[in-house]
Amino acid sequence: MLKEKIARVFAEQFGGEGIFYASAGRINLIGEHTDYNGGFVFPGAIDKVIMAEIRPNGLDKVRVRSIDIDEYVEFGLEEKDAPSESWARYIFGVCREVLKRGGKVEGFDAVFAGNVPLGAGLSSSAALESCFAYAVNDLFNDNRIEKFELARIGQSTEHNYCGVNCGIMDQFASVCGKEGNLMRLDCRSLEYEYYPFHPEDYDLVLIDSCVKHELKDSPYNRRRESCERVAALLGVGTLRDADMDMLEAKREEMSEEDYKRAKYVIGEKERVLDVCDALEKGDYERVGRNMYATHEGLSKDYEVSCEELDFLNDVARETGVTGSRIMGGGFGGCTINLVSKKLHDDFVKEAVDRFEKKYGHAPKVYDVVISDGARRL
């Protein structure tokens, strides 16, 4: 459906056909706000994508239509040509970052659309960056740029063109995701492993509070600054190399706020490792306990939750859900829930009914399907 819609608009806008590419949104089982601290993350790509039809145009400019935003933008490929539309800056940034790395980008025409919900913490922006990074690599660089570098191109786009000082998790998951697999990425060594994820008795369910989050204007960058301040004070490169004893020893020399941020990050590093161990043993109850602990830390110490997300977490706990927590950067978006199959329908009903009663609108519910990352269709 998405493909047909894009093909129709491409034909109307530019005539003829191009090549289709897609890249995915992501979930993250555990390991939040650890990527820019050199820690571990545990994401996977999902079956919600940004899809684009693209064709080189022989000009020195990019002409692109966003179906969902219903806008058309043209821009050149030099630094001075940066568009002002925020969605177009993701595409411009990807082109610029490829060029800065010595890659090749020529003019192209593109139409894109997606079904990754915007502002829900599912990384629609990483999906957009990864889709175009993959396409530019395929169309103009004979796929010489390695996949991990494509993820870095997306991350640099966020830093240099979109004002978000993010880590590598979202772009990595969007580019490298594999059907049926989560991935454990060590954000210090950048080594990663695929973990087949097919729990027989559990589902992953996302409940979207519909509180819109936009990392650009959120205190996301300030969280990162706190972590960097503490790491510098402890004399380590990143908080990955710190432990609770080191933190306690210097507690008096930092603000209470910075202390709480670092405490969360150090605890989260341990939780991801514990979850890996639990998954290897098939102990989903232990996975779930860690998820609740993460939520607690993100809410009380890292302070990136909001009332609606805390409410959804309470409902999950009260309904007997195995694990539940805020997912992604926070400040809105979704909770991710590990739910036993027999509880699935009751939980969803309970969450929707109680949320609607309290906030006057129903949350959205997405069942997670772990899928492939960036690809040519």
Cβ 125 to ligand GAF, closest distance in Å?
8
Pair of tokens at residue 286: 């232990």
123 versus 319: smaller Cβ distance to ligand GAF: 123
169 versus 234: smaller Cβ distance to ligand GAF: 169
Measured CA to CA in angstroms, residue 365 lies from 73, 110, 268, 352 at distances of: 33, 31, 26, 8
Q: Is 310 one of the annotated active-site residues of the chain?
A: no
Q: Cβ atoms within 10 A of the Cβ of 93, count?
A: 23
Q: Which amino acid, 297?
A: G
Compute the half-sphere exposure of residue 235: CA atoms within 13 Å on the CB side of its CA.
Answer: 3
65 versus 89: smaller Cβ distance to ligand GAF: 89
Among 193, 264, 253, which residue's Cα sits nearest to residue 229? 253
Interface positions with ligand GAF (CB under 6 A): 32-33, 35-36, 123, 166-167, 169-170, 328-329
- Distance between CA atoms of 263 and 71, rounded to whole angstroms? 44
3-state secondary structure of 98: helix
Backbone φ and ψ for 80, nearest 5 degrees, come out as -65, -15
Q: Which amino acid, 194?
A: Y
Cβ 341 to ligand GAF, closest distance in Å?
27
93 versus 329: smaller Cβ distance to ligand GAF: 329
Cβ 207 to ligand GAF, closest distance in Å?
18
Active-site residue (options: 170, 208, 258, 372)? 170
35 versus 208: smaller Cβ distance to ligand GAF: 35
DSSP of 236-269: -SSGGG--HHHHHHTGGGS-HHHHHHHHHHHHHH
Q: Cβ atoms within 10 A of the Cβ of 318, count?
A: 11
319 versus 337: smaller Cβ distance to ligand GAF: 337
Among 91, 111, 32, 83, which residue's Cα sits nearest to residue 309? 32
Cβ 330 to ligand GAF, closest distance in Å?
7
Cβ 166 to ligand GAF, closest distance in Å?
3
Pairing mode of beta strands 61-66, 108-114:
parallel
Pairing mode of beta strands 108-114, 334-340:
unpaired
- Distance between CA atoms of 321 and 165, rounded to whole angstroms? 33
- Distance between CA atoms of 208 and 22, rounded to whole angstroms? 23
Cβ 185 to ligand GAF, closest distance in Å?
11
With beta carbons less than 8 A apart as the criterion, state whether 115 and 80 touch. Answer: no
166 versus 351: smaller Cβ distance to ligand GAF: 166
Measured CA to CA in angstroms, residue 131 lies from 58, 293, 294, 375 at distances of: 21, 34, 30, 8
Helical (H) or strand (E) element with 49: strand 43-56
Cα angle 69, 14, 88 (rounded to 5 degrees) comes to 35
166 versus 338: smaller Cβ distance to ligand GAF: 166
Indicate which residues carry an active-site annotation.
170
